[in-house]
Chain A
């Protein structure tokens, strides 16, 4: 453990920006770092607001007792999902692997320190969710003073079990993939399969706990929550400890977290070097035979390079193409199940006409497609290879146009497929379908250009592990979270407006807005590129 903490301290210092801020004399870099911190603070504030609003909302309707359970489940779910997307990049194939492994640290120590680094990096997200809920719960439940320290301490332990579980899944995937020649592809496919399984699990769980005899949606939700808490012991332990119903809950949560952490990293450590060796080695290719070579434009050449970069990295594939895969699956699922039935399934048979969702189809598809724009992280992903682009006789405008072209080529076909599937299944007219496709195109253009603004503005080339810029970079966070919340808001707005306005007019209006925003973002990228 001592070795893990020493490594953790060094890696935290080496991967954070504080040390750079302290020791650099570059004023521009310092300002960039401060801007990144401000951006992150805004995102934490958004999460605090969202979480606080939920806790106070429950308090206002007299449901304050469910807040600890909601907190436990939300933090756990967030921890599981965030870890699942990061674990491959954190635990395996990191740049300083040779350096660390040649030092007298056991493989278990190295693996554990990487896990702890991931935990420390994600902790602010968990606290941003949990602490506002504590305030809301404390006020409405008139909680005793002891609840506050207990809640805070247990919040620190709460993410450990889901994070360890997600890490173990990542380890198993890496272990299985290590046995194949095409390690990277197998790892990507298995990760996709597991994430999709997790998404479908939500419906299975809801189906298990659903009680059709109960009509009130809130009561139904509360019962589903009780069911979920009783199924997931750490949530029950947390709830019992902070409500005073189960004094053993706290010690149980702490000891189970520690025991599971020790057990899993004992297992992971045993195969750690073997997996990393396999992931770092590449299958020897067949003897190359020269065929006819074709000329491409510079933009297409950059876009082609981006495709190879995406396909060459499990981290990039899983994070960058997840939205496209989900959109394609949504399209297929809608065709198979039917639009109305799918809406009923997702909304737990909420009593409304599914037709009111028609104008929201482009936004529903975009919620998935726009989940991530490759342009938000691809400028940073150049990393140490950035000199190649810099030394080529290309303007940076051309480079970024190539990167944007790639994102459009990736998103537009999936957007078109999913939109067409949804429109066909919902029996939307041909004219409206065409307009929704046009709106989808404008949204993809906006996502691409806005992602590129974030990517160029907060480009970070000195990363030690690509997951730092794919998943947790300021550029990606600033693109992803506001985009997600705004789309959720727009989906509601368009449904409300659709009750009063013609859907075609509405689609044209939003196409114009999205198109304008895309154009402005594009011009901003060109301006930023000009300064480089």
Chain B
């Protein structure tokens, strides 16, 4: 494993209208090969943090580095090595699946043969190949989610950021995604994802951070955090301590 973090968040804060802080002085590091779970209640600040990481949300306080590049000063260099899968992907509904994947492949300048091979591989894994010629507007929520995942994987990112990735996926697709996450992790890709499903986080992640009311209340390796208990018990304990 390399010792330079793939994602480093330093003292990140974000306020919305009314001065309320959605995220308050959050710092964490995700190393290459990490599968890092980001857990917390609804409205805790998970999506705000994730949207700032992937360059969607503007922020003033703090710094975010991806592969050593500053998200503020070098956003394109950061995005070039990052893939983002939102919780409710708003894709171009009037494109077909294959048109959308080709658009993403064009953006990342993936050659014809490579893109064909990767699209085929991931679409087969998610059982989407037969549907790629249909309009995205005709897809179910789960199919849109699968397409968003395929589009995130075809450019082989070094940092994969996912917001509630398992919502809407069928059991087979959930299993496939977890397998792919393990494979990517073995290749040195860093994965940072938010989830409510503590069982999934416990089985999948080697590191976890817990956020509450915008503040990081616990972070570390799974073993450090759980100390022999389940993640659910550990979560409820630190959550209770903060009340």
**Residues of A with Cβ closer than 8 Å to B?**
3, 6, 10-11, 13-17, 19-20, 23-24, 95-99, 101-107, 181, 183, 273-274, 276-278, 281-284, 462, 464
Contact = CB atoms under 8 A, between A and B. Distances in A.
Interface in B30-85: 51, 54-59, 75-76, 79-80, 82, 84
A104 B82 CA distance: 9
A16 B94 contact: yes
Contact of A19 (B57, B99, B133): B99
Contact of B76 (A96, A104, A462): A104
B230 interface: no
A282 B99 CA distance: 34
B226 to A, nearest CB: 32
Contacts of B18: 181, 283-284
A458 B106 CA distance: 34
30 contacts: A6-B106, A6-B107, A13-B94, A13-B99, A14-B92, A14-B93, A14-B94, A14-B95, A20-B137, A23-B96, A23-B134, A24-B135, A24-B138, A96-B92, A97-B56, A98-B51, A99-B90, A99-B91, A101-B54, A102-B56, A103-B79, A105-B107, A181-B17, A181-B18, A273-B56, A274-B58, A282-B17, A284-B17, A462-B93, A464-B93
Given A13-B92, A15-B94, 12 more contacts: A13-B94, A13-B99, A19-B96, A98-B84, A102-B84, A105-B76, A273-B57, A274-B58, A278-B58, A281-B16, A462-B137, A464-B94
Contacts of A6: 103, 106-107
A103 B161 CA distance: 12
Contact of A13 (B51, B86, B95): B95
B175 interface: no
A272 to B, nearest CB: 9
Contact of B94 (A3, A19, A107, A273): A19
Interface residues of B, number: 37
Interface of B: 16-18, 20, 51, 54-59, 75-76, 79-80, 82, 84, 86, 89-96, 99, 103-104, 106-108, 133-135, 137-138
B207 to A, nearest CB: 23
Nearest to B53: A102
A13 B99 CA distance: 10
Residue among B58, B59, B90, B104 with the highest chain A CB neighbour number at 10 A: B58
B88 to A, nearest CB: 10
A514 B99 CA distance: 48
Contacts of B51: 98
Contacts of A106: 75-76
Nearest to A17: B94
A269 to B, nearest CB: 11
A10 B95 contact: yes
B201 to A, nearest CB: 23
Nearest to A286: B18
Contacts of A283: 16-18
Contacts of B95: 10, 13-14, 19
A95 B56 CA distance: 13
A439 to B, nearest CB: 43
Contacts of B89: 99
B90 A96 contact: yes
A405 to B, nearest CB: 31
A288 to B, nearest CB: 14
Nearest to A183: B17
A10 B94 contact: no
Contacts of B75: 106-107
Contact of B54 (A15, A17, A102): A102
B80 A104 contact: yes
Nearest to A97: B56
B20 A284 contact: yes
A284 B76 CA distance: 31
Contacts of A101: 54-56
B17 A20 contact: no
A16 B76 CA distance: 29
A96 B151 CA distance: 15
